[in-house]
Each structure stands twice: as structure tokens, then as C-alpha cells.
Amino acid sequence: MKKQALLAAMATALLISYPLGAKANETIRSLEQETIGVAENVKVDAPVSVHDFIQYALDELTYQHGSKEMRDQIVQQWTSADPLEFKKQITKGELAKVLIHALNIQEQEKSISDYLQSAKINGLLKVYSQANETVTAEELEGIIENAKAFASKDVDNKGVKEISVEDFMKNPGELGYSMSPDGEYISYMSEWENRRNVFVKKMHEDGEPIRVTSSTDRDIRGSFWKDDHILYLKDKGGDENFHLYSSSFNGQEERDLTPYPGVRVEMISSLNGVENEILIGMNKEDPTVFDVYRLNVETGELDHVAKNPGNILDWLTDNEGKIRMAIESDGVNSTVLYRETEEDEFKPFVQTEDGDIISPIAFSKDNQSIYALSNKGRDKVELVVFDLDANEKVLYANPQVDVLHAFYDKKKDTILAGLYTTDKMHYEFFDKDLESSFNKLKDKLQVSESELSLNDYNEDLTKFIVAVTSDKEYGTFYYYDSTTDELTKLTELASWLDRDAMADMHPISYTSRDGLTIHGYLTLPKNKKPEQLPLIVNPHGGPWARDMWGFNPEIQLLANRGYAVLQVNFRSSTGYGKAFTDAGNKEWGLKIQDDITDGVQWAIDQGIADPDRIGIYGASFGGYATLAGITFTPDLYAAAVDYVGVSNIFTLLDTIPPYWETVRNDLYKRVGHPVDDKELLEAVSPVFHVDKIKTPLFVAQGANDPRVKQAESDQIVEALKKRGVDVQYMLKENEGHGFHNEENKIEFYNAMIEFLDTHLK
């Protein structure tokens, strides 16, 4: 048994003696472990209580260091247990039972004396003890060390068999499953002519699927059903000016429904119940803003529905397909607008303040209420409903993190479920039927809540497409009919990858130098001791985004090559509340970079990372953080990979896509103003400090990138080459913000692995 499973099993055994609430069970079972040392808050000769053990488990047996709020929340979640139980002391009999079950030494129930004897025989307890003897902190550390030695005896530190870059990076197979409106057909994307295309097949029939698209230049980005048509989005060479295409049901006719050069399409509403018509947004008249158009997908006829005055960020239809709500913004402050009919003028509905978010989801069936996500007047985004007088009622709030998404069902006229992510994804159900089907699927598939996702369902909530994913599972799709209780496996992504060879992704946390709790993930190479490993820190893009637990082919590729990989949700990351995001304002290269540096130092201090073999690799903002890392902490990194990253914040702000103009003021607030903050931006733009860079660097860039222009990479490469710094440059003429064509991805990751191995091994 892997040692990271030890705590989970220990916790499970503890639950036998201490009956806990369901949420507590789920929380403690999700913990992963690695012993670091004796807990500082427990005297070495003091008996360990249940409460102390929970603290010990978080502080010393997991990678969740410095997470006081998590410790407090776990303790509070034990609502069904008697609080006095937590003051009771753990006995050696209980601990022996926990360890024997945790290490799979004995699965059947035995007497306590048998557990004690087995623990002594297997070296967990050095002397035979009485069952009711208490355990001191010092004894507990020794016992855990013995258990670690037993659990890791099958780790030979040789890693696992090397898997090719091609196997990680080639198209994984069939994905993007979606049901037709009647639930009788499904569509999905799969490879044809080396590109991702759309296929359709009838459920419960063995006939060959029909390919309905024929793209050979770019992958189809996404597709969806509209009556008997498949609609899909595709850009040209990575320019992100997505056009909307249609294909007939039998794939005999494809056409570009928005054949306007340099114009980008955004979906507004599929107008369920309205035959052949949808609402789209296009920046056809003004490249900086999106007007609303009604598009007939059968004839291609286009009607101009709403003119954007220049400050509208988003539109919302009511249940009759009428544009009734809009969000206007100056880039910092915004106002939700409302009107009774499409003939009326918009009027202010709710005014937000700096940092507030209100995201309308849907009108209720009678158009008298609006469901939304909002953090107005509070730190976390919550699920709310407004009446037409803008009175708000909170439907669901999570004290730890933002609510990310909600499922509204028009037929039932209710919110079915909310979605939020702590270390992993979780659901909060409001519909008993959906919850029952979800739990039945969990049991059938023998997976946790965080591993099961709802991809699609019919309006009766009887037919579902679901996916099972995890840190080691790329994704397996299923079709489920609840009326017959029939579960059909559709496909397994990247079936050629050995799941047993994939690496575990551990949730971690640590305390930043100024006292913030920083969360993230640590992926450790399989069959390697977590000691003095080469480490790649991988800052995410955005920076207004966050890393999530789940399968990541590039992280698994690095782990397969023997690297530990650290992903950090530094300040400015989203999902942790308004204050945490705002803490990153005008901190590019400063406190944000400190959070990343502190994470690397944490991994070094734990003995996980070899300080002489630290690399940094990131894309977009992560590419900026890569350049900032080797500029402002040049002695920390031995290799760096900048993928479509920013080198000069002035040129970044000067060349944003035209449709970002409505949020320019927000960029100035969060990044800095090129005039008012000139000194700041000069100080944190790596291109002005190339004299400090000495780390070998690999840069990759798409020539058609609309967000981070090619000049961002050109200028840093040119400046470094003039200084004689080792810099490798890969430029792809047919790519944009990141490489999407399969052959380019494979070439890039092969080159990256060779580069990292050269400098870190």
C-alpha cells in the first residue's frame, strides 16, 4: 500500500471508534500523508488526544502545512460526534488496529490483542503493549516512522518505465460528448486527418459513427446541438477569431455561418424551444464590443437584435429568448441592467463596487426572478436569486471558497446543483432526483464525488453523460439511462496510458512570508522516494485563474521523467475569495513572485526538492512568472521554460486584443498603469533587467497569438542572445496562444524534456 494512503486508512479506522458526520468522513478520507516530524504544538511526552491527532495529521502527516482554517473546519465538521470524544486519548490498541488495516496486513476484524501482536510482528510497535495504554507524541512519531518504512519497502527508487511524449500529447481519443435534444443521439470529437473533428452516433445501435466535420487545418474547439444541426467553433491558425460553423445531421453539408474576416463569435443563447434560431455576439461593427444577433442556422439569415453602446460585457435572455439583462462596465465598476421588454430602455438593476462580481445565470420560468453568482458585499462568491426589485436571497454559500457554477433546469424551474472547488471539486445538490442519480452512479462506478462529473443530461433528468476523471485517470465517459438503470461505457481517453504508472497529485499548503495561506498541488514521481528530487515549479496562467486537482498530461509527463512538480495558487488566483484575488493587484514580479519562491523554498525545506536542481516552467502569465523568477531570483533556478509568456508589461498593455478594451481599466488596476505606474512596470518587466538573467532559457511562441504577441518573446530572446545567455527559441507560424496542433505539441514537449534533462539531470 502506498504511504500516501496511510492517513486515509488511519482516519477510517478512527471513525470506527468515533462516529463522525458524513462531510467529516469525506474530508478526512481525502487527506494524503507524509511524515515531517513531531508536531510543535504537542509535548513529546504528552498523551495524544483525538483532537490533537487531527491537528497532528494536518500539520505533520500531510502536505497541508500552515492551513489553520482547514484544521478548524475539519474539527467543526464533526457535527454528529460528541465534542467530548475529541478530548479522549488514543490508545495503542486503537492505533495498532488503524495501522494493521491501513497497511493491508489484516483486513478481517480481529481482537485488539491480535492487532497488537500483529503490529509487533511487523515492526510497527517495538514492544508489546497493553491495549489501553495511551500514546505520547514522541511514541506516535516513532510508530509512524515504522509504518512508513513498512509501507515504502516496495519502493526501489527506480521510478517507472518511461512513456513517450507522443503517448502523453497525441489526441487522447473521443471527448466532448453531448446528447441530441431527444437523447437518442450523441456527438463527440475525435481525431481525423490528425485534427479533432465531430462525429455523431445513435445510441443503442452498433453502426459506424458519422463524421460530420472535415477540418484539416485546426482542431474543432467545441460543438453543440441545435435541433438536427451540429454547430461548432473554429479559428484560423490560433488567432482566436472563432467562426461559427454548421453541419447537417448526416455530415453532407458544412458551412461558415459567420464568414467575416477578423470577427470573433461568442454564444449568448441556444434559444431552447425556438426552432433553428440562436443568439450570438459578434464584434462585426466595432472590433472592441459585441452586438447581439439572431442567427438562423438553417438559412444563415442574420438579424441585428441589440446594439452595444460600447460598455456592455455580457447579455442575458429571459425564458422567451428576449434580451432582458446586460452588464455594463468601465472596466472596474459595473452595473447590472434590466428592462421589462426589448422595446424598453435598460435601467440600473444592481450596482457593483470595486472587486464585486455579479454573474447572472438564468431567469426563472416566469421571468420574475434571476439566479446569479455574486460576491457583492462579501468576500466569497455565493449562489443567489434576485427578485425584480433586486432583493437578494442567498441559496448557497461555502465558507472556504467561491461557488464556481450552478446547474439551472428550465423544465423543473430550479437550480439543480452548485459546484465549488476546495482542494478538489464538490457538488451541493438541491434536486433530490439528480442527487439520487449522481449517488447511484458513484456507487456503480466506485468513485468519489470529486472524480465524477456531469457532462450532459436530457430535460427529464433520466439520461446522462458522465465522465470519471482523477489525477491518474485522463477520463472515461459513460452513458446512463436511469429509467432502465443501464450504464454504457462510451470510451476511455488515452487508453494506452498505464494508470498504475501515473503519479499522485497531492493537495498542499504553506504559509507565505507575509502570512497568507497558499494552496496548491505537489505531484511526486511514481516509485521514487520524495527526497532531493529535481523539481519543476509550474505557475499557472491568468493570473486570474487557479490550478485544479485532476489529470494533466504535461504534469504526468514531467513526473514520468522523475521530476517533482509544484503548482501554486499564488495571490491573485481566483476561487479563494475577493480579498485573496485583490491581494495580487500590482504585485506582478513582487508578492506574487514571492509566493512562488516561498513554495519552492518550502519544497526544499521539506527535503523533497534538490536546491541545485530547480526548474521553472509556465505559460502565459506563468511564462511571465518564469521570466520574473530567473530575473529577480537568478540563483534559485537551474533551467527555465517560458511558453507564450510576457516579457514587457508596457507592450503587453499596448497590444491587447481589441475586444479587451472594455476591461482595460481593470488591467490597469490589477497590473499597473503604463503612465501612472511607469516606474513599477519598468521594475517588474524582465526585458529591462536581462543583465540579471543567467539561467538557461527555452522560449516557445505562436506567431498568431492575439494576447501575448510574438514581440514579447522576440524581444527577450534578442536581448539575451546579445548578452550570450543560453536561450533556445521555438516559433510556430500556425499557432497562437499555446500550441494546439498535435504535431506542434509533440515537438514542443520533446524539446522541453530534452532541455530540462540537460540542465537538471
3-state secondary structure of 736: strand
Q: Is 509 a catalytic residue?
A: no
| 3-class state of residue 664 by DSSP | helix
Given 426, 506, 737, 759, the catalytic residue: 737
What letter does residue 464 receive in the DSSP assignment? Answer: E
Q: How far is CA 330 from CA 115, 268, 333, 584, 664, in A?
A: 67, 21, 6, 21, 8
What is the distance between the alpha carbons of residues 150 and 2, in angstroms, rounded to a whole number?
10
Helix (H, G, I), strand (E, B) or coil at 170: coil
Strands 564-569 and 533-537: parallel
Put residue 145 in one of left, alpha, beta given phi > 0 → left and psi -120 to 50 → alpha.
alpha
Is 204 designated active site? no
CA dist 151 → 98, 100, 480, 507, 651 (Å): 14, 11, 38, 20, 53
Residue 382: strand pairing partners? 374
Q: What 3-state DSSP class applies to 53?
A: helix
- Which residues of 150-237 form beta strands (DSSP E)? 175-179, 185-192, 195-202, 210-211, 222-226, 229-234
Catalytic residue among 67, 572, 573, 620: 620
Q: Which of 151, 125, 128 is nearest to 140 (CA)?
A: 125
Burial class (CB in 10 A: 0-12, 13-18, 19+), 676: exposed
Q: Which three cell numbers stand for residue 189?
A: 470529437
d(CA 420, CA 212): 35
Q: Which of 235, 318, 705, 740 is flagged as catalytic?
A: 705
Residues 6+ apart with CB under 8 A from 254: 212, 213, 214, 245, 246, 247, 248
Q: Decide if 506 is catalytic.
A: no
Query: What does the alpha-carbon distance between residue 92 and residue 103 come to, in Å, rounded to a whole number?
Result: 16
The set of residues, in sequence order, having a beta carbon less than 8 Å from that of 391 and lying 6+ positions away, is none
- The DSSP string of 676-712 is TTHHHHHHH-GGGGGGG--S-EEEEEETT-SSS-HHH
Q: Convert 309-373 into a string of H (helix), E (strand) and C (coil).
A: CCCEEEEEECCCCCEEEEEEECCCCEEEEECCCCCCCCEEEEECCCCCCEEEEEECCCCCEEEEE
Q: Pairing state of beta strands 486-492 and 425-429?
A: unpaired
The set of catalytic residues is 620, 705, 737
